[in-house]
Amino acid sequence: MTEPALLPIIRPTLPDFDDWVAELRGVWDSGMLTVSDRGRRFEAAVADVCGVEHAVSMANCTSGLILLLAAQNLPRGGEVVVPAFTFAATAHAVLWNGLVPVFADCDASTLTMDPASARAKLSDRTVAVMATTIFGTPPDLDALQALADEAGVPLLLDSAQALGSTWRGTPMGRFGVGEVFSFSPTKVATAAEAGVVTTTDGELAARLRRYRDYGKATDGQDMEFLGLSARLSELHAVVGLATVTNLSSYIEHRRAAIATYQAALGDLPGVSFPGVPDVATTSCNYMVMRVGAGAPLDRNALYARLADERIQTKKYFYPAVHRQTLYRADPGPSLPNAEAAAAECIAVPLFGHISAAQIDRVVVAVRTAFGA
């Protein structure tokens, strides 16, 4: 019997190659392969989506996180409050700056950083708060900004999955001192690899453009900052511009797919889905379900069953960052919500062109695994 084709958890949604091959040819013929016209157009497109004045492209999101922190000129050894339920790059950026990540728990429903837990982690060593958008859902930005203001420290946002999300009707991109978006292949809009830092602060944007070019002074020769070679290539900018242009249609397709999944799986015992606050909208970056108490099998068993059916899934985020080898302490903080989410969450296939038949294949496999 022929083995079924692998159904990937993500597949980048890209325009038809012929629609933008001329742009690639234009870059090739120009000989300008970085920091040129296409990159500026890509930045302008992201700024337009976010309704923000400044967007600075980077080679990837992690470079953006590192450099956004670096541009704050924080004292080495200072503590940055970060969520434990996130991708490790959030905490990596803190370490790369000689700072200390202090982990806060997540909200039991939205899985974004819990402001009460973050407040409990503040000390006289705290120099910043960095929150994360989870699966496209923003954290409680009102509470976190108030918390940062009271502590007298900047609020920074790892908005890797947030392009197209909103908070109280305002697009993500305008919050905190700066936000960093990802355009890796796993995101709603992709440039193959890229990051973009958005901010309302023109001076910060100007510094970031120098940080991404090794930290050069305005004369282009002297080194003023400890920067990185984090410039975005024009070829990546072409891809990014093509997908950002179609962002709203990708999100709507994903939103409909998530609704189909939730309607078909929501009656299963022990199954729930991360919440989205009434004041927020999500970019629908991932379709995540929780397999908790009352389910006939646990998340790991479901992961294995779906793998047997050639359906790719992800234990997301697993393990919680404070339990990963690099960050693990003994005994370490007790963060029950993050640890429960890391044990129960599983992301199933979702992309901007997923078909009804592909969704049905996943639904049938999950329901069969549950004995339903």
φ/ψ of residue 145, rounded to 5: -65, -40
Question: Cα–Cα distance between 203 and 272 in angstroms, integer?
Answer: 44
For the chain, what is the domain count? 2
Distance, CA of 38 to CA of 44 (rounded, Å): 10
| 224 shares its domain with 274 | no
d(CA 214, CA 312): 39
Q: Return d(Cα 139, Cα 156) in angstroms, integer.
A: 12
Q: Is residue 4 part of a domain?
A: no
| 234-245 and 17-30 helices, crossing angle to 10° | 150
Which one of 211, 245, 279 terminates a domain?
245
What pLDDT does residue 26 have?
87
DSSP letter, residue 229: B
Label residue 344 by pLDDT band (50, 70, 90): very high
Hey, is 103 helix, strand or coil?
Answer: strand
- Strand segments, DSSP code E, in 74-122 are 79-83, 100-104
Radius of gyration in angstroms for the set of CA atoms belonging to the chain, rounded to a whole number: 21
For residue 272, pLDDT beyond 90: yes
Residues 230, 197: contact at Cβ < 8 Å?
no
Q: Is residue 9 assigned to a domain?
A: no
Quick one: average pLDDT of 89-100?
Answer: 98
Same domain for 156 and 88, yes or no, is yes
Looking at residue 246, its pLDDT comes to 95
Residue 100 to residue 76: CA distance in whole angstroms: 9
Map tokens 């400890």 to a residue.
226
67 and 95 housed in the same domain: yes
Please check whether residue 62 lies inside any domain of the structure: yes
Evaluate whether residue 113 is within a structural domain: yes
Residue-wise burial string across 143-182, b where 16 or more C-beta atoms lie within 10 A, e elsewhere: bbbebbeebebbbbbbbbbbbbbbbeeebbbbbbbbbbbb
Q: Write down the pLDDT at residue 78.
A: 98
Complete DSSP assignment for 236-257: HHHHHHHHHHTHHHHHHHHHHH
What mean pLDDT do residues 151-175 have? 98
- Residues 217 and 364 placed together within one structural domain of the fold: no
Whichever domain contains 221, its CATH number is: 3.40.640.10
pLDDT digits (tens, 9 = 90+) for 254-271: 999 999 999 999 999 999
Query: Of the candidates 185, 217, 245, which is a domain's last residue?
Result: 245
pTM metric for this prediction: 0.96
Angle value at C-alpha 368, between 362 and 370, nearest 5 degrees: 105
- CA-CA distance, 84 to 106, in Å (whole number)? 7
Give dist(CA 368, CA 213) in Å, integer: 53
Same domain as 207, residue 110 = yes
Residue 223 belongs to a domain: yes
Q: Pairing state of beta strands 54-58 and 195-199?
A: antiparallel
Domain assignment present for 51: yes
Query: DSSP letter string over 12-42?
Result: -----HHHHHHHHHHHHHH---BSSHHHHHH
Burial class (CB in 10 A: 0-12, 13-18, 19+), 45: buried
Residue 326 sits in a domain whose CATH number is 3.90.1150.10
**What is the average pLDDT across 183-195?**
97
State which residues form the domain around 39.
Answer: 17-245
Q: Is the pLDDT score of 347 beyond 80?
A: yes
Burial class (CB in 10 A: 0-12, 13-18, 19+), 302: buried
**pLDDT-based confidence at 24, cuts 50/70/90?**
confident
296 and 220 in a common domain: no
Residues 104 and 219 in one domain: yes
Residues comprising the chain, all counted: 372
| Residue at 173 is within a domain | yes
Q: Which of 245, 278, 294 is the last residue of a domain?
A: 245
- Domain identity same for 21 and 126: yes
pLDDT at 32: 86
Looking at the structure, tell me whether residues 175 and 285 fall in a common domain: no
Same domain for 240 and 122? yes
Question: Model confidence over 192-225: pLDDT tens digits?
Answer: 999 999 999 999 999 999 999 999 998 999 999 9
Q: For position 331, what pLDDT does the model report?
A: 73
pLDDT at 1: 60
- The 8-class DSSP code of residue 55 comes to E
- Grouping H, G, I as helix, E, B as strand and the rest as coil, residue 340 is helix
The answer on 276 and 206 residing in a single domain is: no
Indicate if 205 and 70 belong to the same structural domain.
yes
Q: Is residue 130 part of a domain?
A: yes
What is the rounded distance in angstroms from the CA atom of residue 231 to the CA atom of residue 246?
Answer: 24
Whether 282 shows a pLDDT value over 90: the answer reads yes
Lowest-pLDDT range of 73-77, 97-101, 217-221, 367-371: 217-221
Cα distance between residue 351 and residue 13, in whole Å? 7
